[in-house]
Amino acid sequence: MQGNIDKLLEIMTRLRDPENGCPWDVEQNFTSIAPYTIEEAYEVDEAIRENDMEALCDELGDLLLQVVFHAEMAREAGHFDFNDVVDSISEKMVRRHPHVFADLKIKDADQQNKAWEIQKASERAAQAGKNKTAPSALDGVAMALPALMRAEKIQKRAARVGFDWRETGPVIEKIAEELAEIDDARSGSDGGNNNLRMECGDLLFSCVNLIRHLAVDAETALRDSNAKFENRFRHLESIARTEDKQIGEMDLEQLDQIWRRVKAAE
Range of the domain at 120: 97-135
> In the predicted model, what is the mean pLDDT of residues 193-208?
92
Say if residue 142's pLDDT is above 80: yes
Within this chain, do residues 22 and 76 fall inside the same structural domain, yes or no?
yes
The CATH number given to whatever domain includes residue 159 is: 1.10.287.1080
pLDDT reported for residue 141: 87
The domain boundary residue, chosen from 29, 58, 90? 90
pLDDT digits (tens, 9 = 90+) for 6-47: 999 999 999 999 999 999 999 999 999 999 999 999 999 989
**Per residue, what are the HEC states of 63-98?**
HHHHHHHHHHHHHHHCCCCHHHHHHHHHHHHHHHCH
CA–CA distance, 131 with 196 (Å, rounded to integer): 37
Evaluate whether 94 touches 110 at the Cβ level (below 8 Å): no
Say if residue 191's pLDDT is above 60: no
* Amino acid symbol at 231: N
Whole-structure pTM over 0.75, yes or no? no
pLDDT reported for residue 139: 85
> In the predicted model, what is the mean pLDDT of residues 86-104?
86
pLDDT digits (tens, 9 = 90+) for 228-265: 999 999 999 999 999 888 888 899 999 999 999 999 98
Within this chain, do residues 64 and 18 fall inside the same structural domain, yes or no?
yes
pLDDT reported for residue 137: 83
Question: What secondary structure letter does DSSP report for 187?
Answer: T
Within this chain, do residues 207 and 145 fall inside the same structural domain, yes or no?
yes
Within this chain, do residues 104 and 158 fall inside the same structural domain, yes or no?
no
* Amino acid symbol at 113: N
> In the predicted model, what is the mean pLDDT of residues 117-137?
71
Give the total number of structural domains in the chain. 4
Within this chain, do residues 14 and 60 fall inside the same structural domain, yes or no?
yes
pLDDT digits (tens, 9 = 90+) for 39-82: 999 999 989 989 999 999 999 999 999 999 999 999 999 999 99
Considering only CA atoms, which of 82, 115, 92 is closest in space to residue 12?
82
Say if residue 225's pLDDT is above 90: yes
Within this chain, do residues 81 and 6 fall inside the same structural domain, yes or no?
yes
End-to-end, the C-alpha distance of the chain in Å comes to 47
CA–CA distance, 262 with 233 (Å, rounded to integer): 9
**218 compared with 188, residue with greater pLDDT:** 218
Q: What does the mean pLDDT of the chain come to?
A: 89
Question: Helices 147-160 and 192-213 meet at what angle, rounded to 10?
Answer: 60
Within this chain, do residues 148 and 198 fall inside the same structural domain, yes or no?
yes
Within this chain, do residues 102 and 154 fall inside the same structural domain, yes or no?
no
Q: What is the per-residue burial (b if ≥16 Cβ within 10 Å, else e) of 118-151?
A: eeebeebeeeeeeeeeeeebebebeeeeeebbbb
Within this chain, do residues 158 and 173 fall inside the same structural domain, yes or no?
yes
Rounded to the nearest 5 percent, the helix, strand and coil shares of the chain are: 75, 0, 25
